[in-house]
Structure 1
Amino acid sequence: MGKRKYPPELRERAMRLYRQAEPKPVIAHLADQLGVHREALRNWIRQDQADHGERVVLPTSAMLEENRQLARENAELKRINEIMRATSAYFAQEFDPTRRRS
């Protein structure tokens, strides 16, 4: 995962301000106040809503982390399978009884 542009504390503060505000502030205005990019704040709000069950079309942060972990495990298993396949082919060739010995 790459370096995050904004510290987690800023994101938490932004979400707290957004959730507590009544009426809900305009995202562009709040983003300008906090010094963050508008789309970053919009994405944070969407993810926060998904995490709180308010936006069911988006996966929660826990689901996203689980998917990342499964993708890493899958890549490792594919790498191991390739090694096993190559090793199996090597030994099959070495111990083939129909192969002519020199």
Structure 2
Amino acid sequence: MSKRYPPEVREKAVRLVLERLDEFESPYAAAKAIGPLVDVYHELLRLWVKRALAEGSQSGGKGGPGLSAGERDELRRLRKEVRDLKQANEILKLASAFFARELDPRHR
């Protein structure tokens, strides 16, 4: 028996996939990774995403967030840069805590 999803669940799931699409090889891979997180079968989520992407291209590229191809590329690049910088910050925090502990005279 098929499961009916409320429109809010569908919109949220599709939005999550579209926002993180740049992190995956394909919409299928994104749907397969995010589907279980939102309790939606991945193939159904892929179809929803495919439909959302098609509707976006039919409306002159104004689907989803309404960005042009150049803006989407820049946004993708900036999101990746932010992820990389956050990861670098975490590494630096761990390293500074380690060295602070090593230099602490009470540590010896």
TM-score by length of 1: 0.49
Indicate the structure with greater helix content: 2
TM-score by length of 2: 0.46
Higher relative contact order (CA 8 A, sep 6+): 2
